[in-house]
Amino acid sequence: MTALSLGPVFFHWEPQRWRDFYFRAAEEAPIDTVYLGEVVCAKRMPFTAPHFDAVIERLKRAGKRVVLSSLALIGNEREAQLMRDLCATAVPVVEANDIGILPLLTGKPHSLGPFLNIYNESTLAFFAARGAIGACLPPELPATSIARLAASASIPVEVLAFGRLPLAISARCFHARVHGLHKDGCQFVCGRDAEGLAVDTLEGEPFLAINGLQTLSCTCLSLLRELLGLKRAGVAGFRLSPMAADMVRVARLFRDTLDERIGAEEAEEALKALLPQMPLANGFLYGEEGRRRFHPDHLRLE
C-alpha cells in the first residue's frame, strides 16, 4: 500500500495546540509515518519540548512510524549542537533537512527531507549509498523529474502532496522585521499567524506568506488529482504538510483517493470545502509557476 505521511508543523503553534494536533493524528488520521520536530526556527524548540516524549509515545502506541526532522538551516553553534544531539539519538530515525548534518548520519539509517537539493539520479544514489533509507523530493520538481528519480531509486521516494509550499528559508526573521523587531528580540510574533502571514504585491495581489525565517506559497498545494498517476510512476509515498485545517479529514481524503474508494475530482471538491479561503495549486508538477493550477490531462511523466 502506498504510504501516506504527515510532515512536521512549520508554524509556531501554542504548545497545547501542537500536542493535541499530534494526539488527534495518532488516534484518527489514516497515516503511516509522522515527521516530528522544529524545522524553521530553533528558538521555538523549548515550547514543544515538554510535550515531545508524550507525543512520540502516543504516536508509537497508535502504530505510527516516527521520524525526527532536523532544522532546515543551521545558523550558529548552539543550533549546530542541537543538531549533533539530534543525530546522536539512536531512535527514531532522523530526517536531514540541512546538508550540514549528513556527515553526522553517515552509515546510520536516515531520511532525506524536502529542503535538500536532490534533483537527479546520481545525487539520490550518492545519498542512498551513505545510509539514506528514504527521500522526500523538493516540491519544485516537475513530474518528469519525479518519475525518473522514482524509477531509478534504490530507496522509497516520497512527494509533498498537500500544504503551503516551502519556498525559501533565511537567517533573517521576516516576521520580526514586519513588527519592527529584531530576530533576537522577536517576541515570537510568528505565533500570531497560524498559517503564516500573507504578503501581497504592490497591486494588492496575493504573493507569498512568511513564517518566521521561512517563505511559503500563498496557495495550498494539492496533488489529489495526480496521486494515482504518480503512484503508477513509482512514487512510494505522499506527504501532507500540516495546516490550520481539519488535517484528519484531509488525510482521509488522500487515503481514500489513493485506495480508489473515492474519485479524485470528488475528493478535491471536498478539500476545497475544507479550505474555502485558500486557492489550490499544482504548477510546479507541470513545470510551471507553483501558484498555478492545471488539469491532470496535461500531466507528463516521461
Superfamily of domain covering 3-165+219-298: Aldolase class I (3.20.20.70)
Contact 219, 275 (CB under 8 A): no
**Mean per-residue pLDDT, 20-49:** 97
Cell of 93: 530515525
- The pTM of the full predicted model, rounded to 2 decimals, is 0.96
Identify the pLDDT of residue 89. Answer: 80
Categorize the per-residue pLDDT at 8 as very low, low, confident or very high, splitting at 50, 70 and 90.
very high
Which one, of 214, 210, 217, lies nearest residue 196 by Cα? 210
8-state DSSP, 70: P
Query: So where are the chain's domains?
Result: 3-165+219-298
Q: Is the pLDDT of residue 245 over 80?
A: yes
Cα-Cα-Cα-Cα dihedral sign, residues 105, 111, 117, 121: positive
**Mean per-residue pLDDT, 104-114:** 93
**117-159 tens-digit pLDDT:** 999 999 999 999 999 999 999 999 999 999 999 999 999 999 9
Q: Is the pLDDT of residue 106 over 90?
A: no
Looking up cell 549533533 gives: 84
Q: CA-CA distances (angstroms) from residue 235 to 64, 166, 228, 238, 301? A: 20, 20, 9, 8, 11
**Torsion, CA 85, CA 159, CA 194, CA 178, rounded to 10:** 80
Identify the pLDDT of residue 90. Answer: 67
